[in-house]
Structures are given as structure tokens and as C-alpha cells.
């Protein structure tokens, strides 16, 4: 297995915080990730395409139920697509070697954003 091996005694949250030990366990907000035109042209920058296979290959499938990613169309070339990622999704995205351009955060995604991958937001 890998450095983030899942065992029965540990929860998926424990696994997530192994990826980023400095992160607060109470951070539930969505980070806003801006993707440029160039980034959007690479299909591997679409979480719905690349994140599932990454979790399968790295034997971290149990994390699928912790991920929540919404998407919304941006308005400029530098922000053609906006991704609203919960803490779990952002940690995994970074573990995949992605370098997200963070432009802000919200308690929840806007109502006009569409669920792109994972589980829907709930309070």
C-alpha cells in the first residue's frame, strides 16, 4: 500500500488529515479554485475525470464519500472555470500533484453551481 494506508481502526477523516496534518479538523468551508483556459483544455484538470481513477490507483477509494466539488462558469480567461472544493477534495487534489489557484472560500457553493464530483453539500 502507500503512506496513507487505511486501516479498520482509522476513519476516512484520519486519512485525509494524514495528507495535511496542519489543517484544522473543523474546516468545512469550500475553497474556490480558479482554472484558466489552458488548464481547462487538459482533461486531467477535470476532477470528475481524474480524481476517481487516482483514488482507485492509490487504494483510497473510501475517500470518495468525503469529496464534494461543485463547478461554475467563470467570466475571464484566467478564471474560465471555478471549482468549489471542500477540504477533503482540495487535499486530494493537491496530493494528485495539482497546484490549485485559490481565490477565496465560501461556507457553501453558490446555488447556481453544479455538483461536478462527489457528494452534495449538506449541513
Each residue's pLDDT tens digit, 7-50: 444 555 556 556 666 555 444 589 999 999 999 999 999 999 99
Dmax (CA) for the chain in angstroms is: 46
Whether the predicted pLDDT of 88 surpasses 70:
yes
User: Where are the strands (E) in 2-66, listed by range?
Assistant: 30-35
Under DSSP, is residue 45 helix (H, G, I), strand (E, B) or coil? helix
The structural domains of the chain, with segments of one domain joined by +, span: 12-21+28-118
Indicate the angle between helix axes 87-95 and 47-57, nearest 10 degrees: 70
CA distance 64 to 118: 6
Closest CA to 15 of 104, 105, 87, 117: 87
Amino acid at each position: 500500500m502507500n503512506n496513507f494506508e487505511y486501516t479498520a481502526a482509522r476513519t476516512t477523516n484520519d486519512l485525509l488529515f494524514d495528507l495535511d496534518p496542519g489543517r484544522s479538523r473543523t474546516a468545512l468551508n469550500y475553497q474556490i479554485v480558479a482554472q484558466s483556459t489552458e488548464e481547462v483544455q487538459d482533461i486531467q484538470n477535470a476532477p470528475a475525470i481524474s480524481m476517481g481513477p487516482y483514488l482507485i490507483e492509490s487504494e483510497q477509494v473510501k475517500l470518495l464519500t468525503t469529496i464534494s466539488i461543485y463547478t461554475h462558469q467563470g467570466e475571464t480567461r484566467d478564471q474560465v472555470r471555478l471549482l468549489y472544493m471542500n477540504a477533503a477534495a482540495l487535499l486530494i487534489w493537491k496530493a494528485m500533484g495539482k497546484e490549485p489557484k485559490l481565490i477565496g472560500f465560501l461556507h457553501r457553493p453558490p446555488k447556481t453551481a453544479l455538483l461536478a464530483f462527489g457528494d452534495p453539500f449538506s449541513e
